[in-house]
Amino acid sequence: MPKHWEEELWIFSGITAIAGLAGLLTGQLLPCLLSGLLAYLGWHVYQLAGLLQRLRHNKHAAGRALGLWKAVNNALLEQKTAGHARVRELSYQLDRFRDTVNSLPDAVAILGQQQRVDWSNPAAGRLLGIDWPDVTGQPLTGLVKDPLLNEYLADGKFSQPLVVTSPKNRAIILSLFVAPLKREGNRQLLVARDITREYHLDITRRDFVANVSHELRTPLTVIAGLAEQLALDSSDTGMLQRSIELVQQQAERMTVLVSDLLTLSRLEMQHESSHDDSVAVPELLATIAEEAVALSGEAQHVVQLDLESQNGLRGDAGELRTAFTNLVANAIRHTPGGAEVRIRWQVDGNGAHFSITDTGEGIAARHIPRLTERLYRVDASRSRDTGGTGLGLAIVKRVLDHHDAELEISSRVGSGSTFTCHFPAERIIPLPG
């Protein structure tokens, strides 16, 4: 038997026994038993009143409760304690949810009746200008005065997200969607995400595909035209010879373009170079300088090599060779024959520096920030004539990114340019000998 029942039984038996004994002694058994029962009832009423009092005043001490009342008190106390723990747990979960949503980079807002703002996170202020709690209860359409967004909200067709510029900052592109909150009547959840980077990447990618197609189509058109001409008349041996040379030239151009594209795509697929070689830069530059003389050929550029340091670099030998060769080849291609091109390697307190200075045509300041874009050329037809693909500096930029290095370009139209690659001190290594 549970303890409280046992206790209750003892109380009842005690009262009955005392009343019975008093009845036997006084010869008034029935009235005494009735008085005993009344006392027992009175004690219960007293306990009930005590419990009511405690519940009213939110106290939960069992006090002098006995028997069943003690059990009732304890059960209530347990329930109350469990209730408190649940409230604490729920408020912790709510705080955690709020913290999470508040630290999200995406704008989140809850819209009530007529799309009035019920709640929003700080990102909604930054991206949409919805500054909660100041705007609580205001209709979203009045806050975000964007016709596209208002049309989207009014339409109620939210199967596709809407791409709009941020009303707070026109440079930010947002992807926004609204979802109904099923358990919350007419309430809606609005989420807006900053997709500026992806948006521009997508445009760049589309432009790039269009430009590459154009670059490849030009030599193909030439080759197809020549083949057509030769199919009609191939008796003229002089023309046949010229045509073959032209086809060779165009095929070579396509090969160089495809090879540069492959190099660039390989570099872009990795975030850092896969090799960690000890690159003997002075030796490498001596070879590149010799190759520059060969490339210049009859143009007879004066290639000057200033090796002011005998240190090398930690990095990918193949990638560094490609980058330096591209810069040197550009200098030769954009400098008139006989003029000087200077290759320099130095180390100072700021790191290691490879630079190539030419005395060529130079570049107007407005082009400089765009030179490392893929297929960007100051003068496309001139670049093609000199065998350029427009990918060289994009390749250089990716190689330098892999080596934590920066490219600096300084130039003056008519007097020449200097391209400098700045490598951090951590990459410098002493070379044996």
Footprint on this chain of ligand ADP (rule: CB under 6 A): 326, 330-331, 334, 358, 360-361, 363, 371, 376-379, 383, 388-394, 417
Q: In what order do the strands lie in the sheet with 428-429?
A: 277-279, 312-315, 428-429
Identity of the residue, 184 or 207, whose beta carbon is nearer to ligand ADP in the bound complex: 207
Identity of the residue, 145 or 217, whose beta carbon is nearer to ligand ADP in the bound complex: 217
CB of 425 to ligand ADP, least distance (A): 27
Identity of the residue, 176 or 393, whose beta carbon is nearer to ligand ADP in the bound complex: 393
CB of 376 to ligand ADP, least distance (A): 6
Residues 257, 260, 261: CA angle, nearest 5 degrees: 85
Tokens of 72: 């009732």
Identity of the residue, 192 or 363, whose beta carbon is nearer to ligand ADP in the bound complex: 363
Q: Could you tell me which of 281, 284, 335 has the C-alpha nearest to residue 312?
A: 281
CB of 422 to ligand ADP, least distance (A): 17
Q: Give the β-pairing of 302-307 and 340-348.
A: parallel
CB of 216 to ligand ADP, least distance (A): 15
Identity of the residue, 166 or 411, whose beta carbon is nearer to ligand ADP in the bound complex: 411
Write the Ramachandran bin of 416: left for phi over 0, alpha for psi from -120 to 50, otherwise beta: left
| Spatial contact of 402 and 267, defined as CB atoms under 8 Å apart | yes
Identity of the residue, 149 or 303, whose beta carbon is nearer to ligand ADP in the bound complex: 303
| Spatial contact of 12 and 22, defined as CB atoms under 8 Å apart | no
Identity of the residue, 162 or 396, whose beta carbon is nearer to ligand ADP in the bound complex: 396
DSSP-derived secondary structure letter, 59: -
How far, in Å, CA of 23 to CA of 47, rounded?
A: 26
CB of 252 to ligand ADP, least distance (A): 14
CB of 133 to ligand ADP, least distance (A): 53
CB of 221 to ligand ADP, least distance (A): 20
DSSP-derived secondary structure letter, 210: H
Q: Which helix (H) or strand (E) holds 375?
A: none
Identity of the residue, 350 or 415, whose beta carbon is nearer to ligand ADP in the bound complex: 415
Q: Give the β-pairing of 428-429 and 416-423.
A: unpaired
How far, in Å, CA of 205 to CA of 263, rounded?
A: 17
Cis peptide before 133 (omega within 30 of 0): yes
Q: How many CA atoms lie within 13 A of 219 on its CB side?
A: 21
CB of 322 to ligand ADP, least distance (A): 12
